[in-house]
Amino acid sequence: MPANRSFDLAVIGAGIVGLGCVLAAAKLGKRVLVIERDAQANGASVRNFGFITVTGQERGAMWRRARRSAEVWAEVAADASIPVLHRGLLMAVRRPESVAVLEAFLRTEMGADCRLLDADDVLRQHPEAATPELLAALWSPHELRVESRAAIPRLAAWLHERHGVTFLRETAALDVATSRIMTSRGEVAAEAIAVCPGDDLFSLFPEQIAAHGVTRCKLQMLRLADPGFRLSAGVMSDLGLARYAGYSELPEAQALRARLEAEQPAHLEHGVHLIVVQSDDGSLVVGDSHHYAPTPDPFAHEAVDRLILDEFKTVFGREAPRVVERWTGTYASARDRPIVVDTPAPGVRLVMVTTGAGASTGFALGEEVVLDLFEGATP
């Protein structure tokens, strides 16, 4: 327990959503306490791709949050010595229906600074993804990739060193009320409180969480050995156009959906789409799948991994390299809303990203929550 038990802001949960609130408050000069039950980050924030995606996020507020968060990530990465491993997104597609979706996307405001590449452009600029089936690719410059398992601990350490944030780890928040938190180590006081529990739906404010229709989504992830090429950007494929709301909500996506249902029904059934990003040692992080339940089973199913690897083979035109690591992750998920921000008590905010986009939107969401909690404060 810190000697001083009184803070301007207490944040429960040291995942990226909690750390987004912490950073925003620290920039305002607030005294911040973080309460985290695990010894080190262990949730979705270190199990993800570390892929900060803008293009493809839901049109409107989520897309704007992603653009802002990418800006903050770039600043923080430079200041906190977090390596940015590659930038940009290549959406490599092989069906005319997908090209129609990409063309429609480029006509929206979300297409700003993005370009459609033909097969020759891809061969010249991104040869690793140039296969005979490839028709076109969307190039987006907005994305960046960090190695989450190293970046999140580094971000927390930097918040402590640079901004004087206090971290109370191996400490569970048991009960929260206005200006007061009962923890497993005793009580602390804070003018404002942000509860950022990730996919813990049942410990704090379970009724409010249930009222927002929140459940969990489980994903399967793989790390593949160095394929012998260097990715110039994160890579996705046709399946991503049916998953990411920024594309899938465009009217042109309906024809693609119908074709995918006919050609890749098992992929759709298991929510499989392809994201491939690369790490410093050349290995690839590849995923993923989506299965929904309040308590999903913790097992990685071989048949699902095979669907992911099958899409890899098609997109890269070669067998996937050897699998060197497998894991699952879960995040909070709601069918009809990408975020939850609730006020279960005065001065307390419950903050959740309820779609798989917390790494891409957490910093901007943290700024919104902190400005709301400290009304009148200037960023």
Q: Which is nearer to ligand FAD, 42 or 131 (CB)?
A: 42
11 is an interface residue for ligand FAD by CB under 6 A: no
239 is an interface residue for ligand FAD by CB under 6 A: no
Residue from 90, 356, 364, 370 binding ligand FAD (CB under 6 A): 356
CA of 368: how far to CAs of 20, 55, 58, 351, 372, in Å? Answer: 10, 21, 18, 11, 6
245 is an interface residue for ligand FAD by CB under 6 A: no
237 is an interface residue for ligand FAD by CB under 6 A: no
- In DSSP notation, 293-331 reads ESS---PPPHHHHHHHHHHHHHHHTSPPPPEEEEEEEEE
Q: Which is nearer to ligand FAD, 128 or 288 (CB)?
A: 288
Of 194, 206, 221, nearest to 301 by C-alpha is: 221
Q: Which is nearer to ligand FAD, 41 or 85 (CB)?
A: 41
Taking the alpha carbons of 147, 289, 112, 137 in that order, is the dihedral positive or negative? positive
Q: What's the rounded Cα separation, in Å, for the pair 9 and 366? A: 12
SS3 for 375? coil
Q: Which is nearer to ligand FAD, 85 or 221 (CB)?
A: 221
Q: Which range of residues in 10-18, 116-124, 126-134, 255-263 is near ligand FAD by CB under 6 A?
A: 10-18
62 is an interface residue for ligand FAD by CB under 6 A: no
Residue from 51, 73, 244, 316 binding ligand FAD (CB under 6 A): 51
286 is an interface residue for ligand FAD by CB under 6 A: no
Of 247, 287, 290, 254, nearest to 269 by C-alpha is: 290
196 is an interface residue for ligand FAD by CB under 6 A: yes
Would you say 363 and 52 are in contact if contact means Cβ atoms under 8 Å apart?
Answer: no
Q: Which range of residues in 41-49, 115-123, 316-324, 370-378 is near ligand FAD by CB under 6 A?
A: 41-49
Looking at this protein, which amino acid is placed at residue 271? G
Residue numbers at the binding site for ligand FAD (CB under 6 A):
12-18, 35-38, 41-45, 47-49, 51, 53, 172-173, 196-200, 203-204, 219, 221, 288, 329-331, 353, 356-360
